[in-house]
Amino acid sequence: MMHPMLVVLLSLAVTTPPACGLFQLPKSPMSQTTHGVNLVQSQNARLGSAAARASLERVRDLGANTVAIAPFLYQEKPTDPRVIVGDAVSDAELVAGIRAARALGLRVWLKPHIWIPGHWAGEVRMDNARAWQQWFATYSPLVLHYAALAQREGVERFSVGVELEQSIDRPEWTALITAVRKVYRGRITYVAHGLEEAERITFWGALDDISLSYYPALGPTATRGALEAQVQAHLRGLRRYAQRQRRPVLIAELGLRSAAGAQERPWESAEERHAAPDELVQANVLDLWLTALNQPWVSGVLVWRWLSDPQGGGGTDTDFTPQHKLAEGVLLAHWRR
């Protein structure tokens, strides 16, 4: 049975007059084979709990077919060559989350992320070749551990890295991909940080999918017309890239906060800037992107992000999750067609 809140949100999507500038129902079925969310564990709804299952059921009822789950690796600072297992998600919780998602008919994508306090993965950098060798010597075994776990649990897709843009010229990537293939038989990818990093990667040929996180700036004006013009301009560059690669692209992350001005810096977190809630800008941007990316050269789109807490989000929340917001109606309108 469809959740009552979903019925209300679909009603919003259908009955809101176009003059208000809100999202509209898509005109054609989705062409993507992969559509869903990046699932993030909430402290009050650990993976495997009844609450986390309820949140996954909500994702399924929206029409999603895939969830990406991210175990976090920990690095003390960007120049530290030591990578260790983080404590955000244990292996037991990870396995429980994978099994719960698969039991609901959802495909799973395992994509380990590196967490650095006060920094992001794109800042990982080593001063010399020896330090890079040390970094890969600690990073690679952890990736292989999760790849083996993914194989045991029937995970459909696995990422060898996410947004490690200062490392992509290193020869160790090819060796790591080869090693992963020995323990994991599903689809293997790497998540580039936007087109800029994707253009520089030379090892796409060793991978099954070209994947990227995608948070392009959409300018200072949040009217629907201005947002659509920005989306279409970025779309042209993305299309040209896919044509040059002669392969479809997979959008591993797409989203923005439900906060005033979020369209200017869609990658910005709630911790980086205080802002008033704005559900409409989030709903409009997600609707415009999901409509624009409904192309045969786009193999999938995963929204960032969805909380394992089924009560997460809501009208006063200004973070990325679309839960209990107008944006949830956008996902329903696109995914249930």
Q: Which residues does the chain have with pLDDT short of 70?
A: 1-32, 337
Predicted confidence at residue 298, as pLDDT, reads 97
The DSSP symbol for 78 reads: T
Q: Which amino acid is at 314?
A: G
The predicted-structure confidence for 172-217, as pLDDT tens digits, reads as follows 999 999 999 999 999 999 999 999 999 999 999 999 999 999 999 9
Predicted confidence at residue 16, as pLDDT, reads 38
Domain boundaries, the chain: 65-212, 215-297+309-337
Predicted confidence at residue 18, as pLDDT, reads 33
Predicted confidence at residue 22, as pLDDT, reads 54
Predicted confidence at residue 8, as pLDDT, reads 41
- The HSE-up count of residue 321 (CA atoms within 13 Å, CB side) is 20
- Reference 55, options 307, 326, 319; nearest CA is 307
Tokens of 320: 């990325």
- Reference 329, options 69, 1, 8; nearest CA is 8
- Reference 37, options 303, 322, 328; nearest CA is 303
Helix (H, G, I), strand (E, B) or coil at 206: helix
Predicted confidence at residue 33, as pLDDT, reads 85
CA distance 65 to 300: 10
CA distance 312 to 39: 12
CA distance 176 to 206: 11
CATH annotation of 65-212: 3.20.20.80
CA distance 183 to 162: 20
Predicted confidence at residue 322, as pLDDT, reads 98
With a CB cutoff of 8 Å and minimum separation 6, the contacts of 232 are 292
Q: What is the CA radius of gyration of the chain?
A: 19
Q: Which residue has the tokens 């253009």?
A: 199
